[in-house]
A and B are shown apart, each in its own frame.
Chain A
Amino acid sequence: MKSLFNSLRASSSFKGMHWLVTGFPYVWLLLFFVVPFLIVLKISFAEAAIAMPPFTDILSYAEQKLTINLNFGNYAYLFEDALYVDAYLGSLKFAAVSTLLCLLLGYPIAYTIARLQPAVRNVLLMLVVLPSWTSLLIRVYAWVGILKDNGFINNFLMWLGVIDQPLQIMYTPVSVYIGIVYAYLPFMVLPLYSNLVKHDVRLLEAASDLGAKPWMTFLTVTLPLSRAGIIAGAMLVFIPAVGEFVIPELLGGPSVLMIGKILWQEFFNNRDWPVASAVAMVMLAILTVPIVLFHHYQARDLEGRR
């Protein structure tokens, strides 16, 4: 081992090692993103079959001829049936509204924390992160106990006498919003905080010296400066929320239509892996739009700083 190191050091002056270190992320991406992506892409062009695994091979080789059978039917099918378009739109709506709610709720939280004493900040940040140490499944299940007809909220309100019939919160879109906002709020707060904490307080003083009211200062100084944090937080909430499965499944009831549930159905009820893969590919294409926008803004921000 030692001699190997020595010879490495002697021969190439770490050039090899250098490539090893910078190359590692690429190998990682290749193995855990590109390869799985290609597999799913491949399956999305196959046909469902009664077999193990349950789809046909798109490549066949016979009589010295390589034949590629691409079945575009799976993609066509997604647009023939309004169910899929509805589910995509439903997912986008749920994700967009949840992102907005997270932002409205998370911004004041992040702002307050960023303006406190460093010691207090750390404690509060800890409290933001702490719930994620429990499994998401358990936390979402806890909401069932809080929201259901004879759950905590309804029992409390009935005890107060505010209502005499339980409010139907469980199994409605409202419970799904509550679940998603609750689960993803830390992903909004943390990037906002790390942005807001870096702001120079002297800018606020300067604004007020020049006669700006606090809300004016916020709108013209703080808010534009925190745009990168807002975008980062919004992406971190929006992208996983689109594909969310656990929360709508546990809290949503049958009328909440999201693409995660459709994916499950294609795999487990129809056993149609090709259509399921096509659903996933289209979802990826839809998500590429906000990701590209994000990169665009990030790049522009970096340019601006230079």
Chain B
Amino acid sequence: MKKFWTSLIAVAAALSGTIGSAHAEEEKVLNVYNWSDYIAEDTLQKFTKETGIKVVYDVFDSNDTLEAKLLAGNTGYDVVVPSLNFLGRQIQAGVFMPLDKSKLPNSKNLDPQLMARIATNDPDNAHAVPYLKGTTGIGFNVKKVKEILGPNVPLDSWDLILKPENIAKLSKCGVSMLDAPAEVIPTVLNYLGEKPNGFDPALIQGKAQELLMKLRPSVRYFHSSQYINDLANGDICVALGWAGDVLQAKRRAEEAKNGVEIAYIIPKEGAGIFFDMLAIPKDAKHPQNALKFLNFLMRPDVIADISNFVSYANAVPASKPLLDKKILNNPGVYPSPEVQAHLFTFAVVPPKIDRIYTRVWTTVKTGK
């Protein structure tokens, strides 16, 4: 019992200590909330070694979950990684603190063209810096798809997964889709020849929903992270998924030597491109540590290691010489200029349309 009281007093002292010294020196802790499978194995260790700051690392796989937590406030996280189209809305809600640029000397490494593009959602790039970017395309098991659809099936089109006849045949070996309406619906609209970010309720609830309803019986599950392992193990054969995740599945299959050959394509009809951003919530307890972490992640050698590990392109051109040839020359990671011309960004979804997206998504998932 005595032990209990002494430890209670110790905790109380520690708490009052942190409150008292918050302005003087931050404790050497940083709470990071990042996407799952989205950092190199040794990045955090290196950061701790260099700065003495211990990183508490937590993961999510949906922008929706992250935003719900951010809007509730007091998340306890110091660094979060929303996608740009969500970040735009979160900035309007006043979630983030402006970044102290003097603490981010490495931001000079960032691609100025990209920064200009980001500034449309984050004026003056005041609140966030880019982490990684990628496309939302198709990952598939080459052997199984050719087995089912025939050896001459064109492997460069959304027809593979968005054409009801094809997906119905592929359902035998398993098809998955991202559980992310804000990406899948624009992708479907684009495939149907409509503006991906048109936000026209009639089209979303009409054409797009109709097609998705035809596809849904053939979709084994809607999930945004499970498909990496399932593709690698051969449990599913086609996934509407994120470039780097599919390439991670490809590597896992190669390492396991299980005979599964995975490929990723950006279909010729065009695909969505997303930018994941590093930002610091206003109520972060360790903003100085967070700035150090952001600055660390913009160093060419650090971000090159991450890109090499997770197969996503980064925003630091100076990291290119340090990238594996396999990553740099992979058109799925660094698409050619011709392909880039066909990419569209996922725009900020207005709240009214957001509800329509979710409603359509519920219908697609539940059939009601």
Chain A contacts to B: CB under 8 angstroms: 48, 50-54, 81-83, 86, 253-255, 257, 265, 267-272
**In contact, B64 and A54 (Cβ under 8 angstroms):** no
- Which of B77-99 touch A at CB < 8 Å? 89, 92-95
Separation of A86 and B363 alpha carbons in the complex (Å): 12
In the complex, chain B residues whose CB is within 8 Å of the CB of A83: 359, 362, 368
Q: Is B351 an interface residue (CB 8 A)?
A: yes
Given contacts A50-B89, A51-B93, A52-B95, contact A271 B68 (CB under 8 A): yes
Tell me the bound Cα distance from A5 to B62 in angstroms: 57
- Binary interface encoding of chain B residues 174-201 relative to chain A, with 1 for a CB under 8 A from any of its CBs, else 0: 0000000100000000000000000000
State the CA gap A253–B367 with chains docked (Å). Answer: 12
**Total interface residues on B, using CB and 8 Å?**
28
- The reply to whether A53 and B71 form a contact with Cβ atoms under 8 Å apart is yes
Q: Other than the known A52-B73, A267-B68, what 11 A-B pairs have Cβ atoms closer than 8 Å? A: A48-B351, A52-B70, A53-B73, A81-B359, A82-B368, A255-B366, A257-B368, A268-B64, A269-B361, A270-B354, A272-B355
Asked whether A53 lies within 8 Å of B72 as measured between CB atoms, the reply is: yes
> Within B341-362, which residues are at the interface with A (CB < 8 Å)?
351, 354-355, 358-359, 361-362
Secondary structure class of chain A's binding surface, majority of residues: loop
Contacts of A53 in B (CB 8 A): 71-73
Cα separation A82 to B94 with both chains bound (whole Å): 35
Q: B-side binding surface: helix, strand, loop or mixed?
A: helix
Q: Judge whether A52 and B354 touch: CB under 8 Å.
A: no
Complex interface: chain A residues within 8 A of B366 (CB): 254-255, 257
Say whether B37 faces chain A, with CB atoms less than 8 Å apart. no
Instruction: Tell whether, in the assembled complex, residue A51 and residue B94 are in contact, meaning their CB atoms are under 8 Å apart.
Output: yes
Chain B residues proximal to chain A, CB less than 8 Å:
62, 64-65, 67-68, 70-73, 89, 92-95, 181, 221-222, 351, 354-355, 358-359, 361-362, 365-368
Which chain A positions have C-beta within 8 A of B221? 253-254
B93 engages A270 (CB within 8 Å)? no
Cβ B362 vs Cβ A52 within 8 A = no
A-B contacts, 27 listed (Cβ < 8 Å): A50-B93, A50-B351, A51-B93, A52-B70, A52-B71, A52-B94, A52-B95, A53-B73, A83-B359, A86-B368, A254-B221, A254-B222, A254-B365, A254-B366, A265-B358, A265-B362, A267-B68, A268-B64, A268-B65, A268-B68, A269-B64, A270-B354, A270-B355, A271-B67, A271-B68, A271-B71, A271-B354
Residues of chain A within 8 A (CB-CB) of B71 are 51-54, 271
Min CB distance, A279 to chain B, in Å? 13
User: Chain B's nearest CB lies how many Å from the CB of A288?
Assistant: 26
Cα(A253)–Cα(B358), bound, Å: 17
Nearest B-chain residue to A54, judged by Cβ: B71
Q: Which of B64, B93, B367, B368 contacts A52 (CB 8 A)?
A: B93
Q: Which of B93, B222, B362 contacts A54 (CB 8 A)?
A: B93
Separation in Å of the A68 CB from the closest CB of chain B?
Answer: 23
Among A81, A86, A257, which residue has the most Cβ atoms of chain B within 10 A?
A257
Least Cβ–Cβ distance between B92 and chain A, in angstroms: 5
A residues in contact with B93, CB < 8 Å: 50-52, 54
Q: State A48–B68 Cα separation when bound (angstroms).
A: 13
Task: Please indicate which of the listed interface residues A52, A83, A267, A270 has the most CB atoms of chain B within 10 Å of its own CB.
Answer: A52
Residues of B within 8 Å of A81, CB to CB, are: 359
A196 and B365 alpha carbons, distance in the complex (Å): 45
In the complex the two chains form, is A269's CB within 8 Å of B73's CB? no
Bound-state CA distance A265–B67 (Å) is 13
How far is the CB of A151 from the nearest CB of chain B, in Å? 14
B358 touches A269 (CB 8 A): yes
Contacts of A272 in B (CB 8 A): 355
Chain B nearest CB from A158 CB (Å) reads 18
- What is the bound-complex CA distance between A54 and B71, given in angstroms? 6
Report A-chain residues with C-beta under 8 Å of the C-beta of B65: 268
Using CB atoms, name the residue of chain B closest to A86. B368
Closest chain B residue, CB of each to CB of A150: B235
* Residues of chain B within 8 A of A51, CB atoms compared: 71, 93-94
> Which residues in B have their C-beta under 8 angstroms from that of A48?
351
Closest chain-B Cβ to A51's Cβ sits at a distance in Å of: 5
State how many angstroms separate the Cβ of B365 from the closest Cβ of chain A: 4
Contact indicator B64/A271 (Cβ below 8 Å): yes
Residue of B nearest to A275 (CB): B355
**What residues of chain A lie closer than 8 Å to B92, measured between beta carbons?**
50
Contacts of A267 in B (CB 8 A): 68
Q: Please name all residues of chain B whose beta carbon is closer than 8 Å to the beta carbon of A54 when the two chains form the complex.
A: 71, 93
Residue ID in chain A nearest B181 by CB atoms? A269
In whole Å, how far is B57's beta carbon from the nearest beta carbon of chain A?
21
